[in-house]
Structure 1
Amino acid sequence: MRHERDARESGFRDPVHDAQATFRCAMRALAEPGTIRTLGADVAPPAPLMAGTAALLLALADYETPIWLDPAIRAAEGPSGFLRFQTGAPVTDDRSKAGFAVLTGPAGLTRKHGFAEGSLEYPDRSTTVIIQVERLEAGEGWRLAGPGIKGEARLAITPQTAELVEALTINHELFPRGIDVYFVCGTRIAALPRSTRITV
């Protein structure tokens, strides 16, 4: 079938090397919140998935980490099959069961997001949320503080919403519970783990 062939042709060209390099980049982004990093893997996923989103999921997701996709992605022809084929991960309709979630914009994350936030005993049993944005810039925008940040970092995204800021503020207050967030713009990524405090 055409879609299966496209899925095969659009993943990592060098699966082992590209997955390892992407994993390291993703972990460094979490360790240094607000720092923008560029993923080097050449991935061509079906729209509306961005290359950076696909690379993160190909490196991090597997059959034990269900993926939740927002309605815009679910409605598109290709992304669900691409991710199932490339990662082995099931696509779920239940936000609370998702190991990963992909949003086509920040408006999809509100204080009542419904994603898994872990527990005090198992804070790692939470959802990692990937939010695609139109613009991602360091040195301006939100003020970030917390582990991995020397003094203060700045991060700006476009678009942004008051609901997103509220959700991220509440998320930090839940620490060690909560979600971890990656912002993706093309092949560029920045992370906001739950340990990071943001000020507008």
Structure 2
Amino acid sequence: MSTEQTPAASTSELALGFSDPVREAQATFKAVMWAVSRPGHRMPLATNLKPPAPLTPEMAALALALADYETPLWLDPMLAKHKGVADFLRFHTGAPITDDPAAARFALVREPGNLPPFTDFAQGIPEYPDRSTTLILAVTMLSDAPFTLEGPGIKSTRSFGATPLPADFATRWADNRLLFPLGVDLLFTTSGLVSALPRSTRITAEA
């Protein structure tokens, strides 16, 4: 993969943030909180953002609503090679961009099929388990297979799927859950939707 970066975004491109920052950030935050409280449930996420490619509008909305100058962001290789993406995120959130996934509070993953090991990211510490990384993934589809979810926020079970994901995703997640209350949390975004897997959620692969 080439590491050559594209030119920085223009001032006009950087200006294309939330048109109503307070209202839109609150609506995005509310959608995320509902998704976290109901793991695997697909919540509507409406946004008119037009961030620089390959950052998706939904990923951008979550970043603008959740990140600030105290929450370093890590970008996966696809996003990191486009300088305009980092410029856009810095301009609208004030968040520093870090090359160290273990230093990130949020990680933006445009190619979830190439998801790095969860252990590369901050896991939190016993005194402050919230000092972990939340991964924001851009998937092409959310579905009802091939996983079954159990845990807090789920009545009995819930079916869940996202495409693409690594082939060993269920094993990775089982290892992550063994660290509870430490470990990472995941937010999945696709066109008009957000879904979540908090670290407390159990996953089994459907037969």
TM class, shorter-length: over 0.9
**1:123–1:177 Cα contact (<8 Å) kept:** yes
SS of 1:89's equivalent in the other structure is coil
Match of 1:161 in 2: 166
The aligned runs of 1:11-26 (5 Å cut-off) are: 11-26=17-32
How far did 1:4 drift?
A: 2.2
Superposed CA deviations along residues 122-143 of structure 1, whole A, max 9, x for unmatched, are 1000000011111112x33210
Separation in structure 2 between the aligned mates of residue 2 and residue 122 of structure 1, nearest angstrom = 37
Separation in structure 2 between the aligned mates of residue 5 and residue 82 of structure 1, nearest angstrom = 11
The answer for unaligned runs of 5 or more in structure 2 is 1-7
Q: 1:30 aligns with which of 32, 36, 41?
A: 36
Match of 1:86 in 2: 92
After TM superposition, where is structure 1 displaced by more than 6 Å over at least 4 residues in a row?
none
Superposed CA deviations along residues 150-197 of structure 1, whole A, max 9, x for unmatched, are 010111111222232222111111110001101111231110000001
> Quick one: percent identity of the two aligned structures?
46
SS of 2:33's equivalent in the other structure is helix
Separation in structure 2 between the aligned mates of residue 110 and residue 93 of structure 1, nearest angstrom = 13
Match of 2:140 in 1: 134
Number of equivalences: 198
SS of 2:124's equivalent in the other structure is coil
Separation in structure 1 between the aligned mates of residue 111 and residue 9 of structure 2, nearest angstrom = 29
Separation in structure 1 between the aligned mates of residue 20 and residue 68 of structure 2, nearest angstrom = 17
**2:76–2:111 Cα contact (<8 Å) kept:** no
- Amino acid corresponding to residue 142 of structure 1 in structure 2: F
Under a length normalisation based on structure 1, what TM-score does the superposition of the two structures give?
A: 0.94
Residue 4 of structure 1 pairs with residue 33 of structure 2: no
Under a length normalisation based on structure 2, what TM-score does the superposition of the two structures give?
A: 0.91
Q: 1:191 aligns with which of 181, 189, 196?
A: 196
